[in-house]
Amino acid sequence: MSQAITFHTMLPTERSQVEDMILNLYSNDGKETNDYMSRKKIRPTLDRALTHPDSLRVEVFKEQQQIIGYALLYSFWSNEYGGMVLTLDELYVAPLFRSRGISSTYIDKLQDQKSSYVLLALEVMPGNEKAKSLYTRLGFEENRRMFMNKKV
């Protein structure tokens, strides 16, 4: 990385920029529309992160004063793994800043906190081979589980 990248918990003043980045993540960086994600869905998530950072947190990536990415993290206790699991639910770096090692540096930062949790988990979209390759290179492994969902 050429410039110093900083990572910090989202401030209320950074909220609208993060909201825009979340929309970009779900719209494939603005190249196509996606009705799955909306500002209506994002707002309660960011509200929760700002009021309950112990269970949900948004971390902002900055170069100088410019927000260039974010991560959405949550944690929970796992009986199976015998401790806290930190889940990297979303990781986004703006297109102009990709392939500079920012995601790798961020994941290294998370691994430095390993005394707080026993497992770092994430989800990868099946067709995102670039992300899958990065995470495999960083030591993540596919598990034998399949997640199933039911809306309530």
- Cβ atoms 77, 119 nearer than 8 A: no
pLDDT at position 46: 96
pLDDT score recorded for residue 127: 81
Lowest mean pLDDT among 4-18, 23-37, 89-103, 132-146: 23-37
In this structure, are strands 56-63 and 5-9 parallel, antiparallel, or unpaired? antiparallel
Beta strand 66-78 pairing with 83-93: antiparallel
Phi then psi dihedrals of residue 74, to 5 deg: -140, 160
pLDDT grade for 1, boundaries at 50, 70 and 90: very low
Could you tell me the CA-to-CA distances from 2 to 48, 62, 66, 102 in Å, in that order?
A: 34, 13, 15, 10
Amino acid 15: pLDDT: 96
28 backbone φψ class: left, alpha, beta (φ>0; ψ -120 to 50): left
Question: Given this model, what pLDDT does residue 30 score?
Answer: 53
pTM for the whole thing?
0.88
77-126 confidence digits (pLDDT tens): 999 999 999 999 999 999 999 999 999 999 999 988 777 899 999 988 77
Residue of 53 and 1 predicted with greater confidence:
53
What are the tens digits of pLDDT across the range 25-69? 888 755 555 667 888 999 999 999 999 988 899 999 999 999 999
- Distance, CA of 54 to CA of 41 (rounded, Å): 20
Q: Which residues contact 92 (CB under 8 A, 6 or more apart)?
A: 21, 22, 24, 25, 69, 70, 71
Name all domains of the chain by residue range, CATH numbers in brackets: 5-137 (3.40.630.30)
Q: Measure Cα distances from 90 to 3, 43, 64, 124 in Å.
A: 23, 15, 22, 9
Phi, psi values for residue 107, rounded to 5°: -65, -35
